[in-house]
């Protein structure tokens, strides 16, 4: 933050607000840069930026919508627009959505109109939060590809055209272009095989670092024209494993802060140990982390890596086993639980992916 001369630091709700709590502990008392939580999730920013990136909005729909009604709820489509679309396409809104694109294209104009309404109130929220004289901002989040950073910068540029945002992430894919201004504690160029390791780490820590305050799903304007975020806690689980891990993280930060010669732990020591642990887990760790619940919608609650059948059934239905491994966020953990024995499953999966390509 000091190196890049930030004038303000924003911690994105969810994982970012957890990082803020750690920063509250570890920062020096005379740290000169103001910082606070920005109540906005990656999904909400994507939805508020529909006209900026329609492809991102479609991807959100593909990720979280199971039925046609989920599409209506996600994009706040009014009945007078929704019902004719159902009749035109002979659709029952409770039916499972088979991820066809035509329903989204039919509703694109309406979705963009509703998105424009959300965008205006979001910009009002940012104007309330953001000092327009500030030009250099750091945004902290768990990571991925930096789409939220780019969308947020477009919103802030509508307030101050000269503003620039630098993304500070736990894990980020393909951060080698300095023009992107995104930096990951765990990072990987897109052509690198370790991108799969980064994705594993990012997926697991999205859940472990999740703050229990909930996800930002929208905003409401009060009578005095102030804007307040709407938080949804239905996708946040009171998981004892996560509580124990978070408690241990806070204890470590508090203890580390007391060290007389306060310094930075070497990056490679942290990352090599972390990735080795996640890619070659013990049976105990695979069971402990694998049972953590996660969800991208209220109807799509899953486990990080928990096989729903035994090894014999999986071998008899080998194609389903392969599909489930491909879909699983933590493939090494899934394989360790399925096959029971220690084995370099990550290397085997890398080989499988290379052969597939």
Per-residue model confidence as pLDDT tens for the chain (357 residues) = 888 889 999 998 888 888 999 899 888 888 899 999 888 876 667 666 555 467 777 877 887 788 888 888 888 888 999 999 888 888 888 888 888 888 888 888 888 887 777 778 888 888 888 777 888 999 998 877 777 888 888 888 888 888 889 988 888 776 666 677 888 777 765 555 556 666 677 778 888 887 777 778 778 888 888 888 888 777 667 788 888 999 998 998 888 877 755 566 666 677 777 778 888 899 999 999 998 887 766 666 788 888 889 999 999 999 898 888 887 888 889 999 999 998 888 888 778 777 765
- Nearest CA among 186, 177, 173 for reference residue 145: 173
Query: What pLDDT, on the 0 to 100 scale, is given for residue 51?
Result: 54
Helices (H), the chain: 15-26, 42-48, 54-64, 68-75, 79-88, 102-106, 108-129, 147-157, 195-208, 240-257, 267-279, 283-290, 311-316, 318-327, 331-339, 345-356
Q: How far is Cα of residue 177 from the mean position of the Cα atoms in its chain? A: 21
For residues 67 and 94, the answer to whether their CB atoms sit within 8 Å is yes
For residues 199 and 172, the answer to whether their CB atoms sit within 8 Å is no
240-257 and 195-208 helices cross at what angle (nearest 10)? 100
Query: What pLDDT, on the 0 to 100 scale, is given for residue 125?
Result: 86
Query: What pLDDT, on the 0 to 100 scale, is given for residue 9?
Result: 93
Query: What pLDDT, on the 0 to 100 scale, is given for residue 34?
Result: 92
Query: What pLDDT, on the 0 to 100 scale, is given for residue 264?
Result: 64
């Amino acid at each position: 933050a000091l190196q890049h001369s930030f004038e303000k630091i924003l911690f994105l709700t969810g994982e970012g607000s957890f990082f803020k709590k750690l920063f509250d502990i570890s920062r020096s008392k005379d740290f000169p840069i103001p910082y606070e939580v920005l109540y906005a999730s990656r999904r909400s920013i994507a939805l508020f930026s529909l006209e900026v990136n329609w492809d991102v909005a479609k991807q959100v729909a593909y990720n979280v919508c199971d039925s046609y009604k989920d599409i209506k709820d996600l994009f706040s489509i009014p009945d007078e627009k929704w019902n004719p679309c159902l009749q035109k396409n002979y659709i029952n809104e409770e039916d499972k959505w088979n991820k066809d694109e035509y329903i989204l294209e039919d509703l694109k104009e309406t979705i963009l109109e509703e998105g424009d309404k959300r965008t205006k109130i979001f910009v009002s929220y940012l104007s309330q939060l953001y000092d327009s004289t500030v030009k250099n901002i750091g945004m902290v989040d768990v990571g991925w590809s930096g789409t939220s950073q780019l969308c947020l910068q477009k919103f802030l540029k509508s307030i101050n055209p000269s503003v620039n945002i630098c993304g500070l992430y736990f894990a980020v894919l393909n951060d080698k272009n300095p023009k992107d201004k995104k930096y990951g504690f765990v990072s990987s160029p897109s052509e690198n095989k370790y991108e799969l390791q980064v994705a594993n780490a990012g997926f697991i820590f999205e859940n472990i670092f999740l703050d229990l305050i909930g996800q930002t799903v929208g905003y409401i304007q009060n009578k005095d024209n102030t804007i307040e975020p709407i938080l949804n806690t239905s996708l946040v689980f009171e998981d004892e494993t996560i509580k124990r891990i978070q408690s241990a993280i806070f204890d470590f930060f508090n203890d580390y802060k007391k060290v007389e010669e306060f310094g930075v732990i070497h990056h490679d020591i942290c990352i090599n140990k972390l990735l080795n642990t996640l890619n070659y887990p013990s049976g105990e760790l695979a069971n402990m982390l694998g049972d953590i619940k996660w969800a991208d919608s209220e109807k799509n609650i899953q486990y990080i890596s928990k096989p729903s059948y035994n090894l014999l059934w999986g071998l008899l239905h080998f194609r389903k086993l392969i599909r489930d491994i491909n879909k699983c966020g933590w493939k090494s953990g899934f394989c360790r639980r399925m096959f029971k024995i220690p084995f370099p499953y990550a290397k085997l999966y890398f080989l499988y992916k290379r052969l597939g390509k």
